Structure 1
Amino acid sequence: MTKVQSFAVVCALLCSLAGVRPSASQTASSAGSQQLAILDTDIGDDIDDAFALALVLHSPEIKLLGIETAFGDTELRARLVDRYLKAVGRTDIPVLAGKATPHNNVFTQAAYAEREPAHKHKDGVQFLLDQVKAHPGQVTLIAIGPLVNVGEAIRRDPATFKKLKRVVMMGGSVYRGYGNGRPPEPEWNIKLDPEGAKLLFGAGVPITMMPLDSTQIPLDQAERDRLFSFGSPLTDQLTLLYHQWATLTKTATPTLFDPVAAAYTIRPELCPAKPLRIEVDDKGMTKPIDGQPNANVCVESDAKGFVDFLVGRITAAK
């Protein structure tokens, strides 16, 4: 053992004896380390969840413990994920159905999901709590859908939920609403379950928040062509799902809200975050207020760097 290695071991031992936990950046930079993560997603409505899942699957920095579906018909969403994972050879990843809710959403990718045989999926909320118990202080929850499962997990077992390493979420509107020049407004993931959001921001868990301010990044034609012509099993699934979404919504250019949160877990420098205190109201507004910060919030991201990273990572050799 070298002197440097000996020094590192002694430092780690002293930190352990002192009860000091290493920072997220220190943990991520450990040789050979992988972040344990669970993806909570409302995949099947907008197309950005499918891109977020592709990024996570092609990122060796992340060990994906499971994927739980959120909001609405969570069983049909889980069937979509089943087919997606089967097509890319990742049936080793558990797929769980979160708490089903009444909904009037347009499931744009239902045709893709319905081709996968139905079966009863296990409870995603209980899976989340069980994984946190098994890996206290180590699990990152990547939450890119309405916070239904999050709120339910906190109600069931707040003490266990608090043992998450962190929550990285897409949601909220701090200084900017949808589109250009619009003031803050209720954002989809928050307004569909404001109570779940209130519980999360009061749970005492480290939160990194990617609101509308930093996530309205388009995937333009040139980058879409680069992805869809790549011809891998992963990009083939994105191509199928994209065309179903584009046909039903009559939209060509996706906005990559959710992949920004996924990217942050791997490359946080793409979306520098600052501490803020966020208050959630009954309508789903997420207001910055005075007081002790309860989240790190990214209000401006490196859009070009993000798109380059996303497309490069998804089209990279595995």
Structure 2
Amino acid sequence: MPMTRSMLRIALLFLLLCAGVFCVALLAGPGTAAPAASSREKVIIDTDIGDDIDDAFALAAALNDQHLDILGVTAAWGDTGLRVRQLQRLLTIAGRADVPVTQGPATANATPYTQKRWAEGQPAPAAPVPSSVDFILEQARRYPGQVTLISLAPPSTLGALIDRDPAGFAKLKRVVMMGGSVYAGYDDTGYGPLKGPTPEYNIYSDIASAKKLFTSGVPLVVMPLDSTRLKLDEVKRDLLFAAGTPMTDALALMYHQWRHLNGWGQITPTLFDLVPVAYVLDPRLCPTTPLRLVVGDKGETTPAPGPANAQVCLKEDKEGILDLLMNGLLARQ
């Protein structure tokens, strides 16, 4: 039967539609494609992993997400040499041994290193570990205005950076940090009237460095106690620890060491440090308000009149952040 003009139009339309679907398939690739390298957020994570357990969960969430280009992980505060070993072991388990680990300035630290035995399971490095201060400055200069520093520790490394090279520090895109207490403190549960702010651990541990950071002029995004009292309850812990993946097994071991050695009698961890990581992955999970925060001599972070020096998250999406953690880790079963 000869092809009519209408049939020809239909055939051409069909070919165009097929070509479009084919192109989309090529762009998408098989399964869920990783984001293009140029679209991934360049981050460095500064952490005092090993004392509290929240750093381990925060790092697990970050290492599990393809939207982050993790340039390096830096060990901060206290026994930074042992923290390097713990980070190297965790990165190896995550299949990310290629991520550089560097060592920040060691400090005095009265907080128990609850995961010491787990960290000691990693052999001591055979070669000297690079300096975190040198590494962060190098990356900030290499990628000016592109590197987000996620700060999960007392800001001792950041203070050393500012002292060494304030102009180099200013080349960071921003610092996204867990720290401070604006309207809510450790005694607030999230229910009922607020009991008021209290000095927060990261800030009061190194008040001098915190003051330098908040007056540095580098863009700050701050997750204080107001938005970081995020509890990982027993049901969620059991789901994670039953998954039996290398990462969830590692988290289970570190959790049980923390549980028995934390000195506070805590069983349910508070995932303070997960919130800054979640914010970098999806800012909708922790909307911010511009505030001017002043660091006091006792470690207070008090709102003050004047131009804002920080974007501050005062209320987080608890379930959204926990969903991000749970779905990310359980998807690897």
Deviations 1:109-132 (A, max 9, x none): 000111211123211111011110
Structure 1 stretches (4+) deviating beyond 6 angstroms?
none
Please state if 1:172 is matched with 2:187. Answer: no
For residues 175-198 of structure 1, the C-alpha deviation after alignment (integer angstroms, 9 at most, x for no partner) is 011032431111000001111111
Aligned partner of 1:209 in structure 2 is 222
For 1:188 and 1:89, how far apart are their aligned partners in 2? 31
Instruction: Note the C-alpha offset of 1:281.
Output: 1.1
What's the TM-score once normalised by structure 1's chain length? 0.89
Shift of 1:314: 2.0
1:260 to 2:275 alignment: yes
* CA distance in structure 2 between the partners assigned to 1:31 and 1:63 by the alignment: 8
Offset, 1:30: 8.6
Separation in 2 of the partners of 1:47 and 1:103?
Answer: 16
Superposition map of 1:8-157 within 5 A: 33-119=39-125, 120-157=128-165
**What does the per-residue CA deviation read over 1:270-295, in whole Å, with 9 as the maximum and x for residues that have no partner?**
11001000000121100001100000
AA partner of residue 77 (structure 2): F
1:136 CA drift (Å):
0.5
The alpha carbon displacement at 1:173 in A equals: 0.2
Same amino acid, percent of matched pairs: 50
Name the Cα RMSD after superposition.
1.5
Structure 1 partner of 2:314? 299
Q: Return the alpha-carbon distance in structure 2 between the equivalents of residues 219 and 102 of structure 1.
A: 29
What secondary structure is seen at the aligned counterpart in 2 of 1:279? strand
**Where do 1:265-304 residues align within 5 Å?**
265-304=280-319
Q: If you compute each CA radius of gyration, which structure gives the higher value, 1 or 2?
A: 2
**TM-score, structure 2 as length reference:** 0.85
Task: Give the 3-state SS of the residue equivalent to 1:79 in structure 2.
Answer: helix
Work out the CA distance in 2 between the residues paired with 1:304 and 1:230: 20
**1:214-229 pair list within 5 angstroms:** 214-229=227-242
Deviations 1:231-275 (A, max 9, x none): 111111111111110111342210010000110001110110010
Q: Which residue of 2 aligns with 1:312?
A: 327
SS in 1 for 2:175: strand
Match of 1:184 in 2: 197
1:31 deviates by 9.0
Gapped regions of structure 1 (runs ≥ 5): 1-28
Distance 1:53 1:316 in 2: 16
